[in-house]
Amino acid sequence: MRRIHAGELAACINLLENCPLSGKILDMGCGDGALWSALSHCQDIIGVDFSVKMFNSLRQSNLMHVCAAVLEMPFPDAGCDCITAIGISEYIDDEGKILSEMHRLLKPEGYVLYTLSPPSIWTVLRRLLGHRIYARHPRDTITLAESLGFKLIDQKETLMQVQLLFRI
């Protein structure tokens, strides 16, 4: 399983290499901060997660982190240059709400790295293990994001995820 997660993270990092990462970066659903080491050259990273348990396992606790729900972020409009949302969309039933919240938070010309779990045997297995997972077809997510003003820049697909890089 660690290899699978490492591959998912590597695909995300690869996509982020295509954008100028400066200014404020918001990591929505930061979990244990796995992405932060790849962003170590960035000065202003804020990690947000709803789970206090995840904060207790943060790999780099010296970076700012906030405990909050991703659908009600305690940040001003147009304050972020880049937003990452890795591995959270499958836990939120209304994808439009999270995409709208990211659009609200993002500065003009800003980037969003967004992942989703497509319908697959992996999604079925996760459901059988008791996880409440919302599988999504990438085309539907892209269409919804574009209707909200995002433009798809690039995408990748790994074993369990589809990674999408958008820009406003």
- Reported as a pLDDT band with limits 50, 70 and 90, residue 62 is low
Q: Quick check: 119 pLDDT over 70?
A: yes
Name which of 37-51, 81-95, 96-110, 134-148 the model is least confident about. 37-51
- Reported as a pLDDT band with limits 50, 70 and 90, residue 4 is low
Looking up residue 66, the CATH number of its domain turns out to be 3.40.50.150
Cβ proximity of 57 and 32 under 8 Å? yes
CA distances to 29, 118, 131 from 122, in Å? 21, 9, 11
The pTM of the full predicted model, rounded to 2 decimals, is: 0.90
What count of other Cβ atoms lies within 10 Å of the Cβ of residue 69?
A: 12
pLDDT at 127: 83
What's the mean pLDDT when you consider all of the chain? 88
Q: Quick check: 161 pLDDT over 90?
A: yes
Are β-strands 64-67 and 44-49 bridged in parallel, bridged antiparallel, or unpaired? parallel
pLDDT at 59: 62
Higher pLDDT, 125 or 54: 125
Q: Containing domain of residue 40, as a range?
A: 2-167
- How many folded domains does the chain comprise? 1
Place of tokens 């970076």: 63
Q: What is the mean pLDDT of residues 135-159?
A: 96
